[in-house]
Amino acid sequence: MAIVERVFSGVQPTGNLHLGNYLGAIVNFVRLQETHNCIYCVVDLHAITQPVSVWGGPTELARNTREVTAAFIAAGIDPNKHIVFNQSQVTGHAELTWIFNCVARIGWLNRMTQFKEKAGKDRENASVGLYDYPVLMAADILLYRATHVPVGEDQKQHLELARDIAQKFNNDFADSIRSHGFADGLLFPPPEPLITGPATRVMSLRDGTKKMSKSDSSDNSRINLTDDADTIAQKIRKAKTDPEPLPSEEKGLEPRPEADNLVGIYAALSGRSKAEVLREFGGGQFSNFKNALVELCVTKLSPIASEMKRLMADPGHVDAILIDGADRASVIAHETMQAAKDIVGFIRKP
């Protein structure tokens, strides 16, 4: 089994897909289709690590799974050339997680900041799944022996953990890996995070020091991919700013998180750098810049919202895409699982 350059990434079906998910992740998913074999996964097993009240129960989960799929396709992912599926349909994710649970160390998981944030003060009451979330994420990636993983900045630590797990597995089973025909001693290539573009961490529109998030109780803190033009305009006009005009150089954004965020969003949506955006808008009033940002957001996001709506009206079609994707993903996953089981020493039907 040769290592091929392969991209894997995932998005949770937990509702309120927003501009941060789009600019931090989905835009890059679309771009990478030109150069790589890509696998994009709706990670429903991850969604249920939160309390049911957060992910909304069975009807919501199925709806949100279709909605993320619709967003992928509306944004320009081609499910025929690449693979789009939902995680729970491929059993290898859960199986490989178990093997990795026995490779990963408790000390490694105790360092995960996202667990601390999500579990909050009542850590004893968090699910075991939430604690194990990063191990499942490592299994997602390594099940396909993926080499590149496009994500937003907030996933960097989880990617480092995936690399540590890959390396420890390769070390722990080095002899067995070689004797099973992997001359380079690598069953799992350490995956590289791809955290690129001017919007790897899109911030809340209400507070430039907080990440834009699906779970923020204020809907005005984020632009949802399903927002209509009026809602987008309202949210941007209300977005927190400071009284100064925009600076002409990037350095001037440093102490101004809200301005920095809006300029980053403009840059990412227009495919330009922040410096270029400031060359055009620097020195001018914020209100003019906000008007231009509204127009750009609406132009870029409205076609996605209407295509998502069209796809959501035909759930059978969306499900067929996921089933076909899962069938193709399973072929690759099966090959890796067979190798992993042989390498660990599990007896299986030949």
Contact 42, 239 (CB under 8 A): no
CB of 120 to ligand TYM, least distance (A): 17
CB of 24 to ligand TYM, least distance (A): 2
Nearer Cβ to ligand TYM (8/173): 8
Question: Known catalytic residue: 235?
Answer: no
Spell out a b/e string for 303-329, using b for 16 or more CB atoms within 10 Å of the CB, else e. Answer: ebbebbeebbeeeeebeebbeebbebb
CB of 21 to ligand TYM, least distance (A): 4
Nearer Cβ to ligand TYM (25/74): 25
Nearer Cβ to ligand TYM (200/241): 200
Select from 255, 128, 277 the least CA-distant residue to 198.
277
CB of 223 to ligand TYM, least distance (A): 11
Select from 115, 112, 110 the least CA-distant residue to 127.
115
Nearer Cβ to ligand TYM (10/342): 10
| Residue, CB closest to ligand TYM | 24
Contact 250, 295 (CB under 8 A): no
The angle subtended at Cα 145 by Cα 193 and Cα 46, nearest 5°, is 70
Select from 184, 145, 190, 129 the least CA-distant residue to 340.
145
Catalytic residue among 118, 240, 300, 341: 118
CB of 191 to ligand TYM, least distance (A): 8
User: What DSSP string describes 57-102?
Assistant: -HHHHHHHHHHHHHHHHHHT--TTTSEEEEGGG-THHHHHHHHHHT
Catalytic residue among 211, 235, 274, 290: 211
Nearer Cβ to ligand TYM (201/317): 201
Question: Known catalytic residue: 341?
Answer: no
- Distance from C-alpha of 83 to C-alpha of 194, rounded to nearest angstrom: 19
CB of 151 to ligand TYM, least distance (A): 4
Select from 2, 29, 319, 21 the least CA-distant residue to 194.
29
Question: Known catalytic residue: 211?
Answer: yes
Contact 39, 146 (CB under 8 A): yes
Q: Which residues pair with 211 in a beta bridge?
A: 203
Nearer Cβ to ligand TYM (197/247): 197
Give the 3-state secondary structure percentages of the chain, helix then strand then coil, rounded to 5: 60, 5, 35
Question: Which chain residues interact with ligand TYM by CB under 6 A?
Answer: 8-12, 20-21, 24-25, 43, 46, 137, 140-141, 149, 151-152, 154-155, 200-202, 211-212
Catalytic residue among 214, 240, 300, 341: 214
Query: What residues act catalytically?
Result: 118, 211, 214
